[in-house]
Amino acid sequence: SQGPISGVNKDIAVLQCHGDCDPLVPLMFGSLTVEKLKSMINPANVTFKTYSGLMHSSSLEEMMDVKQFIDKHLPPMD
């Protein structure tokens, strides 16, 4: 078992994405995971997005959300 998360990692931003029709990892497991994450780090920095009709794959909508998240949280590269 891991110890508590401390220091700068307590404030890390997390984006968790899940399709609501995923046959391999049920949405309920994603929901439980995000609640566990929120108990370990600053819950205000945890974003959980679900995608209607998405199975165990990705979609353009999800990839655009990932790009927006990266653009927001990572400094631009020169």
Tokens of residue 68, six digits: 């927006």
**What would the pLDDT profile of 20-71 be if each residue is shown by its tens digit?**
999 999 999 999 999 999 999 999 999 999 999 999 999 999 999 999 999 9
Judged against a pLDDT cut of 60, whether residue 1 lies above it is answered with: no
**What are the CA-CA distances from residue 23 to residues 18, 53, 55, 57 (Å)?**
11, 11, 6, 10
Where do we find the tokens 């997005």?
49
The pLDDT-based confidence of 6 (bands split at 50, 70, 90) is confident
Q: Using DSSP, state whether 49 is helix, strand or coil.
A: strand
Domain residue ranges of the chain, discontinuous segments joined by +: 14-73
Please state, in angstroms and rounded to a whole number, the distance separating the CA atoms of residues 5 and 41: 7
Mean pLDDT of 5-29: 92
Please state, in angstroms and rounded to a whole number, the distance separating the CA atoms of residues 69 and 14: 9
